[in-house]
Amino acid sequence: MLEETMIKPGWDAVVTLREITKETLRPFLKMNVAESQQNVVANNAVSIAQAHFEPKAWFRGIYADETPVGFIMLFDDPDEPVYFLWRLMVADEFQGLGYGRKAIAHLVDYVKTRPNATELKVSHVPELPGNPGPFYQKLGFEYTGEEDDGELVMRLKL
């Protein structure tokens, strides 16, 4: 994905969430997760298409400095106190550098600005290898005991 002349951002990169436009779309469509995660994370093209047909979808590209490194999507319903992290993906070559953790921190900051927000939820399929449960637990999410279509639900109280 990166041109050979570009320097891969490191741990110290500034992570931002930015709107994806027709001018910035291409790198997000080309991103892939690790092979072990392909059954866990939806393809960005599918996520972006779904977002365009769901008025309550809020989605952004994850950047490390000026390099696109991932994608994040939220179900953003200001009439409800519970917000839902719908998608998070960090491209394979950028995993393990803290970008996902930093992106979630930015997302939590955003959700805290939303009307009546009390918690952020996320869900995952527990049986699949590479499931993100331990990652979310390290960020303070706790299992709720709920199950949604075979996925375990976790929450972060705001």
Any idea what the CATH number is for the domain that residue 24 is in?
3.40.630.30
2 inside domain = no
Report the distance separating Cα 42 and Cα 75, nearest Å: 15
79 within domain boundaries: yes
Average pLDDT over residues 22-36: 93
Is the pLDDT at 13 greater than 80, yes or no? yes
Identify the domain containing residue 87 by its residue range.
15-157
- Give the model's confidence band at 139: pLDDT under 50 very low, under 70 low, under 90 confident, else very high: very high
- Residue 39: is its pLDDT beyond 90? no
How many residues does this entry show for the chain? 158
Is 7 among the domain residues? Answer: no
Tell whether 9 is covered by a domain. no
- For residue 48, tell me if it sits in a domain: yes
Number of domains in the chain: 1
For the cut 90, the answer to whether the pLDDT of residue 114 exceeds it is yes
Of all residues in the chain, the percent with pLDDT exceeding 70 is 96
Query: Is 72 a domain residue?
Result: yes
Task: Give residue 113's pLDDT.
Answer: 97
Tell me if 42 is assigned to some domain.
yes
As a whole number, mean pLDDT of residues 100-126 equals 96
